[in-house]
A and B are shown apart, each in its own frame.
Chain A
Amino acid sequence: MADGSKVLDVAGVSKRFGDLEVLSDISFQVDKGETVCVLGPSGSGKSTLLRCINWLERPDAGQVYLNGMQVGINGAGVVMNDRELSQIRTRIGMVFQHFALWPHLTVLQNLMEAPIQVQRRPKAEVRDEALALLSKVGLLEKQNAFPAKLSGGQKQRVGIARALAMRPDLLLFDEPTSALDPELVGEVLLVMRDLAREGRTMVIVTHEMAFAREAATRILFLDRGRVIESAAPDRFFAHPETERARQFVQRYAGDTAGQQWQRLGKRT
């Protein structure tokens, strides 16, 4: 059943695409202020799991609760209509692998679009908040630029600020640095680390092991659509319990982007 004290409660979620079972009976909970990093080999279902949380993919079985309220199924027990689903989605911010910024809008307009159009908040308030968020991610001077004129790292920082502008209860990150050139990874991870330190509630799918080790409060390790480990990062990286996780940790131990993150981390 739903536990109201948890921001996110994923209960027995399964999803299959045709014959392929992508997620099988996934359950986990996220407390307020937690940063959960979801790790696992590619094809293990990490992205699909995130997309099931906000019902971009509709789970075949199981439930998702956000602050005790079920996502996708309304009080009457039927699948939510467009408006109900939209309302609950505004409380879940999402950051995409390929940034997914709206190309026809400026950076500032990208941040203001959903709070004004969907949440119907007053424009002046949204604007002030959006400017504050841009200065937080270090892009205030780019407020009138169009996304196409930004570097990948800048785009992703706008993507993060855009998600924050919704004042979400939960932030989902879908491989936020995978599409970036190695030298641009650090600036995005630094922003994410600051959010973790502030106590934002986040679920992050990533391949940045060094980041996960430092910023996560917990690691979920997915393999073939199942959660096979759930542990504090120190424990997960030092003493993985399963053979699959052990192999995975060893393979990623020396990745270059991770090393760069460590250098950046030491400098700040």
Chain B
Amino acid sequence: MTGIAFPAPDPSILARKSEIVAALRGLVAAPDAVIDDPVELAAYETDAFTAYRRLPLAVVLPGSTEEVSRVLAYLAREGVAVVPRGAGTSLSGGAIPLEDAVVVGVARMNRVLAIDLANRTARVEAGITNLAITNAVAEHGFFYAPDPSSQLACTLAGNIAMNSGGAHCLKYGVTTNNLLGVTLVLTDGSVIELGGEALDAPGYDLVGLVCGSEGQLGIVTEAVVRILPQAEGARPVLLAFPSSEAAGACVADIIGAGIVPVAIEFMDNPAIRICEAFAKAGYPTDAAAMLIVEVEGSDAEIDAELARIVAIARRHGVTAVKESRSATETAQIWKGRKSAFGATGRIADYICMDGTIPTGRLPEVLRRMAEIVAGYGLRVANVFHAGDGNLHPLILYDVNDPEQAAKAEAAGADILKLCVEVGGCLTGEHGVGIEKRDLMRHQFTETELALQAAVRRVFDPAEILNPGKVFPLDLAKAA
């Protein structure tokens, strides 16, 4: 795909590569922390938005906040662009490099610094993986709630940059609701502490601003996150429906009945078949649509709540009800859902959309999305967080066919415009990155974008952090 423009690289920066690399080597202690060999750099040329790739000038992997500070101050002083990177799992191209930029990765900074059960907090380095936080506190009966599908690989730093969600955020919220404090390195090299172990912080809510800022305000090197006690138990139920409309109406009625499950996940027939073929989770492959609804509590509480949910599902013509009877079955059910993207990747190339819509518009939007994609002669598989209206249509295409690629991109853009049209937004949890950058004007006015850009420049006046992302390239600089 070539539809998305990148800023032209600055030849004067490219010409200084060896000088910049040498200077970076002097700023970080570990001998292998600076990468400039083109073969090794290839590992950093893209993220999970693999249709686009650019080889960066160099990659530096600092080992401490101090090193990040020195590196950032140096690069800012020299006018070199910086692309912050966690694990490179962004689905929107948030971590894709530029040819004249240095990638600053925090993956080596992955320690747990303190666990405080009485306060229900953990202080960690930002390069830690999402799942490693839960693993570090699990023995005490706690967990870290946001659970993106890539949680085995993705870093907290990336989660903070994108304000990542996950399947269980219907009950527990997304990253911003579980983040209490950050250590932030600014482009002038200064290190600031925002928030901490208390539930709120003085002054403007800068922790809230930094969360979801896509690496354009500073680099987060440490964070304090909220950890929660694990539920006594949790049990998912699979509900099969004869139509997507029936499944969508069932979701609305569950919520309307005052029940807030931990998760309500939706899959349509193509997604069910793809995931079942991969995970052997016992999904009903003949169903038009399926919900995974998970509830938590004691056995008796779970029984009572599932009974309410199944009764509602019966009113909507549920064709099969399958409750998990063991931890193994529960793991199977979730494995199918969480491997949806990977499993889809085995049968076709795809682009994954991430718009959010008001849940009441679900049946209509599902129908119109199918029409849009069919109009381009392509196929779509739908798997998404139905409880909060966060859609993940996977548009299937052949990456080696430029015409199909262009069509897939166009269909994706049409779908996101549809999301905005019905009262939703371009991205629920993946971020804007480069992928949705040029659609921002469909959601925001020029003055709204200008105010966001002005706030960004308070932190990074020269816009050296993650340039070319989030904001349309031709956005005028307001006074």
Partners in one complex: no
Q: Which residues of B contact A (CB under 8 A)?
A: none
Could you tell me which A residues sit within 8 Å of B by CB distance?
A: none
